[in-house]
Amino acid sequence: MEKATFGAGCFWGVEAAFRRVPGVIDTAVGFMGGATADPTYEEVCTDRTGHAEVVHLIYDPARISYEDLLRIFWECHDPTTPNRQGWDVGTQYRSAIFYHTPEQRTKAEASGEAMNRSGRFGRPIVTEITPASEFYRAEEYHQRYLEKQGRTICHI
- Residues with catalytic annotation? 10
CB contact at 8 A, 8 and 77: yes
CA pseudo-torsion sign 20, 10, 87, 74? negative
- From CA 40, how far away is CA 30, in angstroms rounded? 9
- From CA 149, how far away is CA 125, in angstroms rounded? 32
- From CA 124, how far away is CA 117, in angstroms rounded? 9
- From CA 21, how far away is CA 10, in angstroms rounded? 19
Classify residue 33 as left (phi > 0), alpha (psi -120 to 50) or beta: left
Distance in angstroms between the alpha carbons of the first and the last residue of the chain? 23
